[in-house]
Amino acid sequence: ANARIGLVGLGVMGANLSLNIAENGFPVAVYNRTGAVTDAFIASAGALSERLVASKTYEELVAALPRPRAVIIMVKAGGPVDAVIEGLAPLMQEGDMIIDAGNADFHDTRRREAALKAQGLNFIGMGVSGGEEGARHGPSIMAGGNPSSYEAIREIIEAIAAKHQGQPCAAHFGPDGAGHFVKTVHNGIEYADMQMIAEVYGILRDGGTERERCAPAQIGHLFEQWNKGPLNSYLVEISGKVLQAFDPETDRPMVEMIVDKAGQKGTGRWTAIEAITLGQSPSAIEAAVAARAWSAAKETRRAGAELFGDLEAEPLPRPSEEVLERALLAAKIIAYDQGFKILSAASEHYDWGIDLASAAEVWREGCIIRSALLDDMASAIREGLPHDQLIFAPRFVEMLRDGAGALRQVVAYAASAGLPVPAFANALAYFDTMRQGRGTTDLIQAQRDFFGAHGFERVDGGAGQHGPWGGAAG
Ligand code: NDP
């Protein structure tokens, strides 16, 4: 045994994670299905290649590791993970551990954990965020599985993770799928964050009078300014950079050369699906998933533009940049509230015991949704959330009392101008529902009782009551 840990899959993430582990002083045995990739990786690793052990077979990989062995899998999610486990597990011995560091569906993680446990092996489902750069120099890491297995690799994980004021952005969140679920919700929130920034871009690009409409670089410059204030975050920062970039071939703004069809690998959708299964509805996240799905129908949208594109709108005045900034901040807080609620509902349902504050803490650095606001969120959650609502935490109540009007102004403007802002609009609808002590579902309950005798609860007491619908019912 001449390595401390093994890693399978030298794609973008696996190669960078291996270098990160090696740089932190832990020798890594690496394996890739296509052997030539392993050779090229070792050849390009420079001085770090001394801490890399090239393995051409699973047997070689396993033989390079001390017991209990730990092997990280970093391949495409889904079938490839099962294929690697199938190759690796028979060569491992009781107490050894497999760590899936890809973007797995947490249901798969639960299934794999149970199957490997039956073979005497430990399985850690571990979400890693931060893209290529994060994997190389410090990602945010969300682990799940047997706590004693996590303890065995904790030293390595904390060494390679991003740091927030010296604290590693890595944590163990609970058994089986807990870590991958926290990563899934992270990605769901990421979808909402990205969509809301894109909605502001749309308003500035397409809204207002001819003279008010902004070129991408102007919007990018504005985001660069916002990044110095309360919206300081990785996504606002990179949006500012992206919008100020020009296509070297045509000299036109780079974004104008990009087809407006968004891709998705599933994590945003999984967040929405699981939330709905648990009786929740993270409307801002769902809206972001929907916006990407709608965008894919480019030809249909072109046909729609022919039919309806010229519909007259009577737009209100376009909100100022300052109003847009406050609206984005308010909508973001609301989307995060929804994200934390799903975490809490799933944790209860699957008995994970997820510490929500710890999730906010590991998201402060290294990951795609890192932002100044997450530090406030972590503190608010540690202090305890009234009614489990982030939007009720005193520091956010203040921000929302200030920002809700701006959000309303932006949604009203967008509706009047015919510009779609699904994430903003859904965040606002959720917020307005949560501040309405008496809503309109009294009528829904009456309707349900009328046609289905479902019964309702009376305001003056008594469940299972029925209305005087008489013979009309049914
Ligand atoms: P890449 O596409 O760069 O690499 C894929 C790797 O998977 C290659 O090493 C490939 O081997 C291997 N592979 C594919 N199919 C099989 C198989 N059937 N058996 C064995 N190995 C296989 O992927 P990424 O590095 O981008 O992503 C890896 C994981 O990390 C995914 O789950 C992804 O969702 C997740 N992730 C990615 C992020 C990113 O920014 N890219 C961020 C966070 C998570 P071969 O060379 O032989 O084809």
Q: Which domain holds residue 98?
A: 5-176
Residues 227 and 154 in one domain: no
Residues 404 and 263 in one domain: yes
Tell the residue nearest (CA) to atom 19 of ligand 1.
80
Tell the residue nearest (CA) to atom 42 of ligand 1.
131
Q: Given pLDDT bands bounded at 50, 70 and 90, which one contains residue 100?
A: very high
Check which CATH number belongs to the domain holding 453 and give it: 1.20.5.320
Share above pLDDT 70 across residues of the chain, in percent, rounded to a whole number: 99
Ligand 1, closest atom to CA 131?
A: 40
Residue type, 138: G
Ligand 1, closest atom to CA 102?
A: 32
What value does the mean pLDDT take over residues 135-144? 98
Residues 260 and 213 in one domain: yes
Strands 122-129 and 140-144 turn out to be antiparallel
Annotated ligand binding at 413? The verdict is no
Catalytic residue among 113, 183, 199, 286: 183
**What are the pocket residues of ligand 1 if the criterion is a CB atom closer than 6 Å to any ligand atom?**
9-14, 32-34, 37, 74-77, 80, 83-84, 102-103, 128-129, 131-132, 265
Q: Which of 126, 154, 176 lies at the terminal end of a domain, its last residue?
A: 176
Annotated ligand binding at 400? The verdict is no
Q: Given pLDDT bands bounded at 50, 70 and 90, which one contains residue 230?
A: very high
Do residues 412 and 316 lie in contact, with contact meaning Cβ atoms separated by under 8 Å? yes
Q: Which of 116, 142, 176 lies at the terminal end of a domain, its last residue?
A: 176
Annotated ligand binding at 9? The verdict is yes
Annotated ligand binding at 423? The verdict is no
Length of the chain: 474
CA dist., res. 421 & res. 409, Å (int): 12
* Token pair recorded at residue 108: 């798969």
Residues 409 and 453 in one domain: no
Ligand 1, closest atom to CA 34?
A: 47
Annotated ligand binding at 227? The verdict is no
Question: Is pLDDT larger for residue 472 or for residue 352?
Answer: 352
Residues 39 and 24 in one domain: yes
Tell the residue nearest (CA) to atom 21 of ligand 1.
33
Residue 474, pLDDT score: 45
Mutate to test the pocket of ligand 1, among 7, 13, 367 (most ligand atoms within 8 A of CB): 13
Backbone angles phi, psi at 464, to 5 degrees: 65, 30
Which segments within 157-282 are labelled E, that is strand?
163-164, 167-168, 170-172
Residue 346, pLDDT score: 97
Residues 44 and 92 in one domain: yes
Ligand 1, closest atom to CA 129?
A: 43
Separation of CA 3 and ligand 1 centre (Å): 22
Residues 24 and 161 in one domain: yes
Catalytic residue among 190, 199, 237, 286: 190
Do residues 6 and 65 lie in contact, with contact meaning Cβ atoms separated by under 8 Å? yes
Residues 82 and 191 in one domain: no
Tell me, rounded to whole angstroms, the distance of Cα 242 from its chain centroid.
20
Tell the residue nearest (CA) to atom 4 of ligand 1.
11
Ligand 1, closest atom to CA 14?
A: 25
Number of domains the chain contains: 3
Check which CATH number belongs to the domain holding 105 and give it: 3.40.50.720
CA dist., res. 161 & res. 159, Å (int): 6
State the CB neighbour count (10 A cutoff) for residue 218.
Answer: 13
Residues 193 and 127 in one domain: no
Residue 149, pLDDT score: 95
Residue 187, pLDDT score: 96
State the CB neighbour count (10 A cutoff) for residue 198.
Answer: 19
Residue 265, pLDDT score: 84
Tell the residue nearest (CA) to atom 13 of ligand 1.
75
Residue 471, pLDDT score: 61
Separation of CA 46 and ligand 1 centre (Å): 23
Annotated ligand binding at 292? The verdict is yes
Mutate to test the pocket of ligand 1, among 31, 33, 72 (most ligand atoms within 8 A of CB): 33
Tell the residue nearest (CA) to atom 12 of ligand 1.
75
Residues 364 and 234 in one domain: yes
Residue 275, pLDDT score: 96
Residues 139 and 276 in one domain: no
Q: Which of 176, 209, 236 lies at the terminal end of a domain, its last residue?
A: 176
Tell the residue nearest (CA) to atom 8 of ligand 1.
11
Check which CATH number belongs to the domain holding 397 and give it: 1.10.1040.10
What value does the mean pLDDT take over residues 189-216? 97
The reply to whether 190 belongs to the active site is: yes
Residue 313, pLDDT score: 82
Start-to-end Cα distance in the chain:
74
Residues 293 and 273 in one domain: yes
Residue 8 pairs in a beta bridge with 31, 73
- Closest to 159 (Cα-Cα) out of 179, 184, 180, 139: 139
Annotated ligand binding at 13? The verdict is yes
ipTM value, please give it. Answer: 0.98
Vertex 368, ends 43 and 175: CA angle to 5°? 90
pLDDT digits (tens, 9 = 90+) for 19-56: 999 999 999 999 999 999 999 999 999 999 999 999 99
Residue type, 247: D
What value does the mean pLDDT take over residues 68-73? 97
Does residue 472 carry a pLDDT above 70? no
